[in-house]
Amino acid sequence: MKIAYLDCFSGISGDMLLAALVDAGVPFSVMEEAVASLGLEARLELRRVNRSGIDSAKVDVLTLEGELAEAAVGGVSGQAQVHEHNHGSGHDHSHADHSHTHTDASRPHGHVRGRSLSSIREIIHNSGLTDEIQATALKAFELLGKAEAKIHDVPIESIHFHEVGAVDAIADIVAASAGCRWLKVDRWLCSPLNVGGGHVHCAHGKFPVPAPATLELLQGLPVYSSGVQKELITPTGAALLRALDVTSSAFPAMSIGTTGYGAGKRDLPGQPNVLRLVVGESAAFAAIQERKHFESETRVGIIETTIDDATPELLSYIADKLLAAGASDVYRTPVQMKKGRTGIQLTVLCSPAKAQVLQHLVFAETTTLGLRYREETKITLARRFVAVATEWGVIRIKVGLLEDGEIVNCAPEFEDCRLIAEKHSVPLKQVMQAAFTAYELHQNQARETQAQEARA
């Protein structure tokens, strides 16, 4: 199982994650191409810096004229648009990495450099990036918008992003999404989060660190302050953590593959201002974590709607979009509708936390005027993976267990089998059968070992 661990002992921001990804082996061209696809007249620049003795990567977003994009964000009259960021952030986004917003009702006359959530969605949808990259980037912005909407008690679509809507932060989020997807990590983990200290001065007034949007986004994750009087976690950094569905953990048991260090803007007294990313493999850790978090009953969200005017091609496209955006499953059932029309019932299964985003996607991508949403109890088996060796390579076997540990189901991981079949030009069914055989041999050897230990 491939895992990635974000060591946030000096916090996290969008640009720090970008740099850590590059330093850990993600080709810089992956991020450059992602930014170029946005059509925002911006580019990335990579350099090496030293932070308290640690050689680190540093990524900046530049305008086509070579200026820092964050410095090119102009001030706009009107109290709701002023961001007096004088606290001296430890990160590059001392201005542009903050999601301070205004609502349509409070929007002053004149040019606004910020962007609405709908305009950001349009930029990302038109980029030509893969569905997976788009889903991660859009999820980060949806989370930011939801946090700000809750803080201001307004609908999410009335939120306008000022700093996060600026060119440099859109580039950060999209490029980070592309880099994270390139790694093909099965699970993202992070350390407890050092939020820093002090205050920020923004359009909302003077607030203690963490800023309001950051605090909202960090709910459920363990945080602390090392005493450094700087803002160490930005709203963009927090949104990317949530978009990756990170799990907080101590440093995991793993076979270390690559390590990367991504630098913030300034040196901090007493500690390197870097984000450390460690990528590696750990089947054992997967099994431990799966057993640790086993719950026989969980809540599942169910979104349903019936449609009688959509083509099969459109319905297939919608299903792919929903799955890429985080749905657990999507299926379609033929139904008889009013006036004798044959229609399709579209059913989406998801975690309740993702229901709002997926409901919006159903409305945006289908012709329906209404949907039904409910939550039900889901009974699940505990799951773990066992890695087995075949003549073509290692394949993971997904194992389902009852609460007492009895194995009741097992199946080769389809994507592992598919990749091996394509790489070696072997029939897929032959690869899957070989995986089953290897698993049976593994289980027989395990039983024999247990028997020998019992006799001893």
Section 414-434 average pLDDT: 93
- Rounded Cα gap, residues 154 and 142, in angstroms: 14
Residues in contact with 153: Cβ distance below 8 Å, sequence separation at least 6, in sequence order: none
8 Å CB contact between 161 and 120 = yes
8 Å CB contact between 58 and 17 = no
Q: How far is CA 141 from CA 170, 219, 221, 443, in A?
A: 9, 17, 19, 46
> Looking at the predicted structure, is the pLDDT value of residue 373 above 90?
yes
Q: Side by side, which strands form the sheet with 297-307?
A: 329-336, 342-350, 297-307, 372-379
* 65: confidence class by pLDDT, cuts 50, 70, 90: confident
Section 109-115 average pLDDT: 49
- Rounded Cα gap, residues 36 and 127, in angstroms: 9
pLDDT tens digit string along 173-216? 999 999 999 999 989 999 999 999 998 876 667 889 898 889 99
What is the share, in percent, of the chain residues with pLDDT greater than 90? 50
8 Å CB contact between 88 and 81 = no
Q: Which amino acid appears at position 141 of this protein?
A: F
What's the chain's average pLDDT?
A: 83
Helix axes 14-23, 167-183, angle to 10 degrees: 40
Q: Burial, 109: exposed, middle or buried (Cβ in 10 Å; 0-12, 13-18, 19+)?
A: exposed
Entry pTM: 0.58
Residues in contact with 240: Cβ distance below 8 Å, sequence separation at least 6, in sequence order: 12, 14, 17, 140, 173, 176, 177
130 HSE (CA, 13 A, CB side): 15
| Alpha carbon 29 to its chain's center | 20
Section 398-421 average pLDDT: 87
- Per-residue 3-state assignment (H helix, E strand, C coil) for 159-214: EEECCCCCHHHHHHHHHHHHHHHHHCCCEEEECCEECECCEEEECCEEEECCCHHH
Q: What pLDDT shows up at residue 27? A: 96
Q: What pLDDT shows up at residue 275? A: 97
pLDDT tens digit string along 282-320? 755 444 444 444 445 678 999 999 999 989 999 999 999
Rounded CA Rg of the chain: 24
- 352 preceded by cis ω (within 30°)? no
Instruction: Select the more confidently predicted residue: 163 or 161.
Output: 161
Q: Which residues pair with 432 in a beta bridge?
A: none
Query: What is the set of domains in the chain, with CATH numbers?
Result: 2-289 (no CATH), 297-379 (3.30.70.1380), 382-455 (3.10.20.300)
* 360: confidence class by pLDDT, cuts 50, 70, 90: very high
Q: Which residues pair with 452 in a beta bridge?
A: none
- Rounded Cα gap, residues 425 and 222, in angstroms: 47
pLDDT tens digit string along 137-148? 999 999 988 888
